[in-house]
Each structure stands twice: as structure tokens, then as C-alpha cells.
Amino acid sequence: MTRIVCRQLAPVLGDLVANHREIVRTITEETAAGADVLVLPELATSGYVFRASEEVAACAITPSDPLVEEWVAAISGGAVVVCGFAERGENGLVHNSAVVLDASGVRTTYRKVHLWDREKLFFTPGDRLPEVVDTSFGRIAPMICYDLEFPEYTRSVALAGADLIAAPTNWPLVDRPDGERPPEVLIAQAAARVNRVTIACCDRTGTERGQAWTEGTTIIDHNGWPAAEAGPDHRAACTADLTTARDKQISPHNNLFQDRHPTLYITT
């Protein structure tokens, strides 16, 4: 069984050093305490509510930055860490990215493809699917926030073999009826169930230029049901057998992937 932990941090806008310290502290604490897979929020290094490109560019780093080496060094044992950050890319471009780390270093860097609202003013979208990283716990794919709301994208990553989608998010609070879960969680639940994968969504907290956050951190099991939700402690944790995702047979005659009729679908 794999111990999955999400920590709903409160990044400080533009304060790379303070955010870095909090990331190191959290990785140290949680992996020492037994987390096998630790997921941190989107843009955990930079905050979110930018007013100008210069703000995010000033705290963007590459995945080979010494700060990221410190994250790697903070990992205890065989744990895997997924963390969102503002990435300095080629030619001065800035990406909304996530790294997948273990004690050996950076396993993959993913650049968010589907950008939300004003992110389009500050970030260049990625141009490839998340890589599925084979770990001792199972196959883990990163995905970031609004990416989850494209069911053809979650499907793609499931078809590529992911057992767990680890999704750093920054969910700005939106309206919902009383008693309902956040709509982003609902969408992730459906994605988990129709693909039979686990999805760990790690949201953020903290105030930033008046923006309220959903604080909707939820770990969803492969049947689509919440296994853990963050409360006032801003932490969600559960254990799961990630490899359960590999059996897509859901009735004597039904296999979630084999039942698809791809030639009929509109894909353009």
C-alpha cells in the first residue's frame, strides 16, 4: 500500500526564498513521517495572482536550479514528490510546470498545457502530454489544475498507463450550490472513475491580492470516491494500492478501455 499525502501550502506571491523554505520543510517533514507520494500545490514557488509578466519571471527557475536540488536532498527514503513551480524555459519563456522528484533527482518536468484565464498572459503552454513515471509505488503522471477539466486529456494519460494522476492545483473559489463539492473535484471524481485511476489534487490556501481559494485538496480513489479531503489542517492523507488501476475490467463483459469506439469519436 502507498501512503499518499497532499499539503495545501500558502505560497507567498513573488517570495521565492520563503516559498522554497516552506517546500523544503514540508518535504523533509512528510517524507520522514512516512509519505510515499507527496503532492504540493501548483506554483508553490511563486504564488499565483500576478499583475505583470516581470513578477513571475523574477521568480522562475529551471528544474536544474540548486533550489530543486535542495528539494531532492530533503526527500527521505524512496518517496516521490510532485511540486508545482514557475519554470524558466528556453528563450526566456515562462511555464506553469510541475516536477516529479525522488531521491535520485528530477524524474520529469511537465509544462501545463491548458492555461486558466490570466495565466495566458504570463505563461507559455506546454506542448506535450505528461510523462508517466514508473516508480516503486506505481506509475505516476503529473497534471496541473485546469488540465483535469479536459476529459480527453485525463483519458490520454490513463491510456498512457498512469496509475496515479498527481495534480498540483490553485483553484480560485467559484460559486457552487450549498452542500456540493467543488466542481473541480466533481470533474476529477468522474475522471478517476471512468479511467479507474487514483487522482490526488493538491490545492493551495492563503490570501493573495484578495483572491479566495477553494481549498479543495482531495485524494480520489480509483472508483471516483474521495478517500481523503483536507480540513482546517490543510492536509489530506490516505493509503491506496495504486496498481489496482491496471485492471480496467468492471463487469464480466466490460473493460473501460476496450469498450471505447475510437473511430466514432470527434477528436479535432
A 10 A CB-CB count for 69 gives 14
- Smallest distance, Å, CB 97 to a copy of itself? 16
Which candidate, 42, 61, 49, 171, places its Cα nearest to that of 119? 49
- Smallest distance, Å, CB 143 to a copy of itself? 12
- Smallest distance, Å, CB 189 to a copy of itself? 6
- Separation between Cα atoms, residue 114 and residue 48, nearest integer Å: 15
* Grid cell for residue 186: 466533481
Give CA separation, 54 vs 23, 39, 60, 93, 94, in Å.
Answer: 23, 27, 10, 11, 10
For a copy of itself, the closer CB: 232 or 253 = 253
- Separation between Cα atoms, residue 254 and residue 168, nearest integer Å: 32
Number of residues in the chain: 268
- Smallest distance, Å, CB 25 to a copy of itself? 34
- Smallest distance, Å, CB 183 to a copy of itself? 6
- Where does this chain bind a copy of itself (CB under 8 A)? 113-121, 125, 127-129, 146, 149-156, 159-160, 176-177, 180, 183, 186-187, 189-191, 193-194, 223-225, 251-254, 259-262, 264-268
For a copy of itself, the closer CB: 117 or 233 = 117
Residue 19's Cβ-count burial label (10 Å; 0-12, 13-18, 19+) is: buried
